[in-house]
Amino acid sequence: MTRAYADMDAPPLHALGERVPSHWSMPSSLPPGGGANLWLHLHDHARLQAASEPLLAAHLQSCVLQHADIQAALNHVLSRKLAMPGISEAALSGLIRQCLADAPDIGHCMLLDMRAALERDPAAHDRLNVFLNQKGFQALQAHRIAHHLWGSQRQSLALFLQGRVSEVYAMDIHPAARIGSGVFIDHGTGVVIGETATVGNECTIFQDVTLGGTGKHGGDRHPKVDRGAMICAGAKILGNVRIGAHAKVGAGSVVLTDVPAGATAVGVPAAAKSDRVATLAERVQQCFTFSMNGLPPPLDSQEMAALLAYSQWLARNRPIGVEQPGRGFPTVARTGSDPNPLRGKAHYARRCASCHGAHGEGQKTASDSYSVPPLWGFDSYNKGAGMHRIDLLAGFLKANMPLGNPDLSDQEALDIAAWVRLQERWPDPRKGLLGGLLER
Ligand code: HEC
């Protein structure tokens, strides 16, 4: 059995405050004019692209430029992809046009799905790319058509579409499955969603996710995924279990029981970190126990009150659900050359040892507390801390160190992080003492 607690990679004290995904408070309605504006954008973009990349001009003409609105364009893209001998593009196009006219919410959902892809996928690039090239987006729209047919007593047609979608896009979504709006399916390959599954608004699902049955029962046998949940790549959620609102399921996890709202479940079988959402005070305590091997201040202590007051002070007048500058770690760009601990050792001696000590021992005050924290050894953070990851540490160093004059290059930050990571420190407390000691 493997278990990990992904969201505890948070480093000690540098990241006070709840980690709220940026789509947490996304409204599920469109701004006025959203559809028309989006179409204008898409159309303009396609025109520019056709001019700058003549090889794509005919394709852009047929998929976007020749159409009057986004629904006609979607109809064209889907019917062309899904047609096959015996069911012509024209026949499918007539069918899809009818469905889009009968069920206006399909078009509405499509716009919200598009926005979800743009907001949550750093690689989405632009609307045109999502619309033309992202099969998670296209297959989801085809499912919305199939779902409408299923509900209109045209089940054989709905099942036909499901089959074609799975052949063309390698995603198998039963037409009866209910999927909300603003849903983002990233990459998509291998996604399987069973007949009685539901997926709430604003969920994110990655490739190879299964929302499956356990094989035993008929009837209502598939997962219910609530609003805003994120199911990472390869997770298998089996049976009629509930994934609560805004919960996260880690990559490769196998989930056989309910995951509470806001919780993170990881592992095989997945374990929720706790059976409810931790309070801020508990999260602060976990920073002490999980990353620093420390004794946490009691919930009702002065120290805890001070830490909470400080984080509230930091948060004052801040909008909710909007990423704030300075929050978390900056990431260090890939430099094209591996982090080199020997180079890092030399940089450390030059740039860090004056404060943190030649042996990473830090500096103590007269009262035996630290004025400069140790970077390895007994009193430093443990192997379960975010700081024990080269990428996160490098990001922290680049933004903060040397204190008062952070001027490391990306490569220097990575090299130093690689050197610091090689040093001895307490094992990850979540792995148990023995397991942790055996692990390097
Ligand atoms: C001028 C003194 C000084 C220099 C030089 C310096 N640091 Fe620091 N460093 C500090 C102090 C003080 C803190 C504690 C800051 C705080 O908690 O606000 C700190 C914190 C850290 C932490 C966080 C440790 C923890 O347990 O949270 C790391 C990691 C770190 N420094 C690494 C480095 C590295 C690597 C270098 C060299 C590139 C470096 N520092 C250079 C003074 C320095």
Tens of pLDDT along 117-175? 988 887 877 889 999 999 999 999 999 999 999 999 999 999 999 999 999 999 999 99
In the numeric block, which tokens belong to residue 252? 């490769």
pLDDT at site 229? 94
Q: Ligand 1 centroid to 372 CA: how many Å? A: 7
Binding site membership of 346 for ligand 1 (Cβ less than 6 Å): no
> Is the CB of 419 within 6 Å of ligand 1?
no
Kindly indicate the confidence band of residue 11, based on its pLDDT and cuts at 50, 70 and 90: very low
Closest among 391, 392, 412 to 402, alpha carbons compared: 412
Region of 321 (left: φ > 0; alpha: ψ -120 to 50; beta: rest) is left
Q: Is 237 exposed, middle or buried (0-12, 13-18, 19+ CB in 10 A)?
A: buried
Angle at 116 between CA 18 and CA 120, to 5 degrees: 50
Could you tell me the two tokens for 348? 């450390």
- Ligand 1 touching residue 353 (CB < 6 A): no
Q: In the predicted model, what is the mean pLDDT of residues 275-284?
A: 77
Q: Residue 25: pLDDT above 80?
A: no
Count CA within 13 A, CB hemisphere, residue 320. 5
AA letter at 4: A
**396 CA distance to ligand 1 centroid (A)?**
10
| Owner of token pair 């601990």 | 341
Is there a contact between 307 and 325 (Cβ–Cβ < 8 Å)?
A: no
Q: Are 3 and 159 in contact (CB under 8 A)?
A: no
**How far, in Å, is the centroid of ligand 1 from the Cα of 373?**
7
- CA dist 328 and 106 (Å) reads 37
Pocket test of ligand 1: the residue of 352, 382, 414, 420 to mutate, having most ligand atoms within 8 Å of its CB, is 352
Spacing, Cα 403 to ligand 1 middle (Å): 6
Q: Which amino acid is at 243?
A: I
The chain-wide mean pLDDT, for the chain, equals: 86
Residue 40 structure tokens: 């204008």
Q: Which residue has the higher pLDDT, 2 or 312?
A: 312
Specify the ligand 1 atom closest to the Cα of 13: 27
Q: How far apart are CA 117 and CA 201, in angstroms?
A: 13
Q: What is the pLDDT of residues 372-395, one digit of tens each?
A: 999 999 889 988 888 998 888 999
Rounded to 5 degrees, what angle do the CA atoms 258, 18, 283 make?
75
Q: Which two tokens stand for residue 364?
A: 């103590």
Distance 322 CA to ligand 1 centre (A): 28
Ligand 1 centroid, distance to 75 Cα (angstroms)? 57
- Tell me, in angstroms, the distance from the centre of ligand 1 to residue 17's CA: 21
Binding site membership of 401 for ligand 1 (Cβ less than 6 Å): yes
353-364 per-residue burial string, b: 16 or more CB within 10 A, e: under 16: eebbbeebbbee
Q: How far apart are the first and last CA of the chain?
A: 19
CA of 356 to the centre of ligand 1 (A): 7
pLDDT bracket for residue 1 (50, 70, 90): very low
Section 8-24 average pLDDT: 28
- Of 372, 410, 412, the residue with max ligand 1 atoms within 8 A of its CB, to mutate for a pocket test, comes to 372
Closest CA to 16 of 313, 230, 301, 249: 313
- Indicate if the pLDDT at residue 434 is higher than 70: no
Residue 381 in contact with ligand 1 by CB distance below 6 A:
yes
pLDDT of 241 above 80: yes
Which pLDDT belongs to residue 375? 96
Q: Are 117 and 184 in contact (CB under 8 A)?
A: yes
Which is the closest atom of ligand 1 to the Cα of 371?
12
Single-letter amino acid, residue 411: Q
Between CA 34 and CA 413 the distance in angstroms is 43
Residue showing tokens 């209910």:
178
User: Ligand 1 within 6 A of 385 CB?
Assistant: no
Q: What is the largest CA-CA distance in the chain?
A: 86
> 376 CB less than 6 Å from ligand 1?
no
- Look at residue 62 and tell me whether its pLDDT is greater than 70: yes
* CA pair distance 418, 280, nearest whole angstrom: 32
Whose C-alpha lies nearest to ligand 1, atom 15?
372
How many residues are listed for the chain in this entry? Answer: 440
- Give the residue whose CA is nearest to atom 12 of ligand 1: 372
Is residue 47 over pLDDT 60? yes
- Ligand 1 atom nearest residue 387's Cα: 29
State CA 31 to chain mean position distance.
24
At 267 the pLDDT is 83
The per-residue pLDDT for 269 is 79
Q: How far is the CA of 401 from the centre of ligand 1 (A)?
A: 6
